[in-house]
Structure 1
Amino acid sequence: MSLLKNIPTNIITGFLGTGKTTALNHLLTQKPEEENWAILVNEFGQIGIDQAALTQSSEGVNVKELVGGCICCTLGPSLTSTLATLLRQTKPDRLIIEPTGIGHPAGIVDTLKNEHFKDVLELHSIICLVDPRSIDNIEIMEHPTFQDQINLADVIVLNKTDLASAAQITTTEQKIAGLYPAKQKQVLTTQGQIDSSLLDITHRLKETESQPQQHKHLSLDGNNANPMIGMLFQPRPKEPFHKGSINDGLHTMGWIFNPADKFSTHKLEAVLQSVKNVDRIKGVFNTDKGWNFFNQVGRELSIETIAYRRDNRIEVISQQGHDWSKFEQQLLSCIIN
C-alpha cells in the first residue's frame, strides 16, 4: 500500500434502522464517473444482507462485507486485514465504512489512525443518521453506543423526518445543537437523501467522546472463526442453512435459501409482521413479484425491488430468544414452487 496515500475516508454510522444503507445508496448515485469507491460494510448478524441491498451496478463501486459481530471488537483483527486487502485490490479514490448499527465508531477510528493506515487514509467526516422518533425511546437515548455515535459524529443527519412529529424533530434539533463541541453540520432529510458534499467535511476528533466498552461475544455454536458468508456452494431447494449468535445481549439468527426457492410475497409479509419482540428483520427474496428487499424495523415493513440474485437470505435481530425452528417452518411455508 506504499503507493496509496491520503485516501478520503468516511464513516456512516447510526443506530439500528436509521437508514444508513439507504443513505449510502443515495451517495453512490452521486459518485463522479471517473472515481473508484471502496465500500466496507459491517453487519452484526451472521448472514450478510446489506451488501445485497447496496447498488453495485455502477462502474467504480467495490463492496466488501464483514459479518458476525462488530468490527470495533469481535471482528477487530479482521478489520485490519480486510481493509488492507480491499485497498490493495481496488486502489480507491474514496473509502466509505458503514459499521453495524450497534457498533462503536471509535474503534474504527483507532484502526484508521494506526501505523498501518495513518499515511494511507485521511479521515473525513463521520456522518451519523438519527431517527427523530428515538427522542421518545429512553432505551435508545440512554444506550452507550447511541451516545458514542452522536458524540463522535461531525455531521448529524435527521432522517425519516416524514415519519416524525414536528415536536420530535424540534426537540432532537435542540438537543443536538446543545452538544459540545458543536457539530459541524446538521441536516434534515427523508429516505436517506443526503448530498455528497457532506463527505468532504474534515473530521474533527473531539476530546469529549466517550470510550466504548468491550462488547461481550458469545456464539451459539462456539465457532467465531467461520461465519456463514461467501459460501462456495448453495443450499438445496427448501433446505436452508442457518446461523445464529448472541452478541452484546442481542440475539441474531439468519438463513440462506436456494435462489430457486420462490416465495409468496403475501405470505412473507404475514409471517414477518406476525413476529413479536424483534428489533430488526432484513431479507432478500425471490418472490412471485420478482426479487425484493424486505426491511422491517419494529412493526414498519418496507419492500423494494433489488438487483441481487445470488440466493434468498434473511436476518433477524432481537433482544430475546425465539423459537427459530418454528420461524424457519413458517418461512418454508411461504415457498410456492
Structure 2
Amino acid sequence: MKDVYLFSGFLGSGKTSMLTDVIRQLKEKNLKPAVMMNELGKLPFDSQVVEKDIPLKEMLEGCICCSGAEKTEAQIQSLLLDSNFDVLIIETTGAAHPVEALDAVYSPLFADQLNVKGIVTVVDTKLWLHRQTLTPQVRSLFMEQIRHAHLLLANKMDLLTEAEQGQAVYELQGLNPHAFILQTTNGRVPLNLLEDLKATAQVAKKEIIKAPLSAMQLGSCLVEFTGKEFTQEQFEEWVRTLPDTVYRMKGYVPIEGIKNPMLFQYAYGMVQWLPEYLKMPAKLVMIGENIDTVPVIGFN
C-alpha cells in the first residue's frame, strides 16, 4: 500500500515550505514521493518547487474538495497506474475544507491501495492570534482546518513573543485536543513524526475494517459487500440510523434487480443514487469522526 499525507492549511501558512522539506527527507531515505497539488489560479506557481524527477499532478482553477473530486480520482488512478512511488503527498489549496479534501482522496476503486496516514495542518500562528480580523466565513474555515487535523504545525513561531507562543499553543490545543502540536518555523517537520501518524483504516478483503484512531477523531473504514444485495429502501433505512458524525459515504452498492452496483453518495444527511453502466467493485468508503463505533451489522 502507498502511504498518503494530506497537507492542509490556510493561505500563506507555509504548506509549500513543508512540502519541499518533506520531499527532501523522503529522498534522503531513498523513498520515492509523488505529489498532487491543488491551486486556485491558472498558473502552477507552487508546483514549480517540485523537482522534475517527482511524479506531479496539478489541479488548476479547481478545488479538490468540490467539483474537482472526480478529476482528483482520475489523477490518483493515473498516478497508481503510471508512476513508481512510495509516498503520495496531496497539498490542498488554502481554501479547502479538510473533510471535503479527504473525501475526494477516497475512491472505492483504489481505497485498498492507499493508506491515508493523516491530515497535517500548518497554522500561521500570528494569523491565529489575530483571527478576529477575518470574516466569519473565513475564520470558520481556518478553525475547521485546525479542528480536523491529526498533526498541527504551529508555524511562524519566530514571529511571536514567548507569551504569544504559549497563548497560541494553548488555544490550538483547546480547539483540537487530539492532535500533536509541533512548534516550528519555515514549516519544518521531522519525517518520523509524519510516519508515526495512524489516522485511517488498513483494508482487508471481505472484511469491515474499523479505523484505529488512537484518540484521533477523523477516520475512515472500507465496507466490502460480499455477495449480498439490498433494496434502496433497506439501505437508506440503515443510513438513517447512522450518527451525525458520519460525514461522507461513497461507493458502489449492489441493489436487487439491477445488473451493476449503483453509485451511492452521502453527504451530511443528503443521499444520492446514480446508475452505473460498468460493473464496479461493490465497496463503500465511510468517513467521519469515531468511525469505529458506527454500526454496520448485516453488511459483511
Query: Normalization by structure 1: what TM-score?
Result: 0.56
Question: Counterpart of 1:122 in structure 2: which amino acid?
Answer: N
**Equivalent in the alignment of 1:20:** 15
Q: Which residue of 1 aligns with 2:26?
A: 31
Shift of the 22–141 alpha-carbon distance from structure 1 to 2, 3 Å rule, reads farther
> Where do 5+ consecutive residues of structure 1 fail to align?
1-5, 213-337
Q: Tell me how far 1:158 sits from its aligned partner.
A: 0.8
Indicate which of 70, 77, 87 corresponds to 1:94.
Answer: 87
Q: For 2:130, which of 136, 144, 160 is the aligned residue?
A: 136
Q: Indicate the residue corresponding to 2:105 in structure 1.
A: 112
2:191 paired with 1:196:
yes
Which region of structure 1 is more displaced relative to structure 2, 139-148 or 30-39?
Answer: 139-148
The 5-angstrom pairing of residues 1-337 of structure 1 reads 6-33=1-28, 34-54=30-50, 56=51, 61-134=54-127, 135-140=129-134, 142=136, 143-179=139-175, 181-183=177-179, 185-200=180-195, 201-203=197-199, 204=213, 206=217
2:146–2:175 CA contact under 8 A, matched in 1? no
Partner SS state of residue 31, structure 1: helix
- Relative to total residues, which structure has the larger helix share, 1 or 2? 2
SS in structure 2 opposite 1:178?
A: helix
1:130/1:156 contact within 8 Å kept: yes
Paired residues in the alignment total 203
Secondary structure of residue in 1 paired with 2:142: helix
**CA deviation string 1:30-79 (max 9, x = no partner):** 1145322110000011221111123x15x5x2222111021100322211
Task: State the one-letter code of the partner of 1:95.
Answer: L
Q: Secondary structure at the match of 2:143?
A: helix
Q: Which amino acid is the alignment partner of residue 136 of structure 1?
A: H
Moved over 6 A (4+): 208-212
Residues 128-152 of structure 1 show CA distances to partners (whole Å, capped at 9, x for unaligned) of 0001112212144952321221121
* Local SS of the residue matching 2:36: strand
Taking structure 2 as the reference length, the TM-score comes to: 0.62
2: CA distance, partners of 1:44 / 1:210: 28
Q: Distance in 2 between matches of 1:30 and 1:50?
A: 19
Q: How far apart, CA to CA, are the structure 1 residues paired with 2:37 and 2:149?
A: 18
Q: Give the 3 Å change call, closer, same or farther, for CA 156–180 of structure 1 in structure 2.
A: closer
User: Is the 1:157–1:187 contact (alpha carbons within 8 Å) kept by the matching residues of 2?
Assistant: yes
Q: Partners in 2 of 1:209 and 1:127 — Cα distance?
A: 21
Helix, strand or coil: the match of 1:116? coil
Q: Report which stretch shifted further, 134-143 or 146-155.
A: 134-143
- Kindly provide the amino acid, as one letter, of the partner of residue 183 in structure 2: L
For residues 176 and 118 of structure 1, do their structure 2 counterparts lie closer, same or farther at Cα, with a shift above 3 Å needed?
A: same
In 2, are the aligned partners of 1:140 and 1:146 still within 8 Å (CA)?
Answer: no
Q: Is the 8 A contact 2:178 2:217 kept in 1?
A: no
In the alignment, structure 2 segments of 5+ residues that lack a partner are 200-212, 219-243, 249-300
